[in-house]
Amino acid sequence: MDDMFSKIASEQNLLEKIASKIPGFGGYLKEEQRRTADKMLRETLAQRYDEQWQRVSAIQRRMVEEMMIDHVDNMESAAIKLRTFIDGMKTAAYGYGSLFGAVKVNDAELQKLYAYDYALLEGVSKVSSAVDNVEASLGGDGLPAAIRNLVAVTTECVTAFDRRKDVLAVS
């Protein structure tokens, strides 16, 4: 394990040496790191949100099986918002390469992006809690309120992702 770490560290040192000799290369490496980090983040987020979407889908099936048909449409609203959000994360260009390449993103803008990224990470637990609440409310009087809450939470996710894109659009 230590050998692997030292090999990676020495390769990183070589890259730093190359970066110091070639003007602009260091910026290129940072740009690539941002793209890679953005890709990893969004793949992880998409996977975690997809797990919640699968739970929502299972609840919808259960509602149909248990003849709670009057609530399926509202659950579908949450499911569609969540699926649209997940698909948006999966299909957006990683790292916003054209923007990072042509327009320099300053530290303040990066901090805003990181704040939205954190909100998206926190959103997973909010969605999970909202789904838990719907599950616990199945067959009870609190089900409509639990579903409304889930729709609101999924809407917040979409809004946070859209605002993240807006930060880059004005850069």
Mean pLDDT by 10 residues, the chain (171 residues): 52 60 62 76 90 97 93 94 90 54 61 82 94 96 97 92 74 54
The range of the structural domain enclosing residue 97 comes to 32-169
Contacts of 68 (CB under 8 A, 6+ apart): 138, 139, 143
**Residue 102 falls inside a structural domain:** yes
**Residue 1 falls inside a structural domain:** no
**Residue 147 falls inside a structural domain:** yes
**Residue 3 falls inside a structural domain:** no
**Residue 108 falls inside a structural domain:** yes
Name the domain count of the chain.
1
Q: Given this model, what pLDDT does residue 106 score?
A: 66
**Residue 14 falls inside a structural domain:** no
b/e code 92-125 from CB counts within 10 Å (16+ = b): eeebbeeebeeeebeeeeeebbeebbebbeebbe
**Residue 12 falls inside a structural domain:** no
* Nearest partner of 154 among 114, 134, 126, judged by Cα: 126
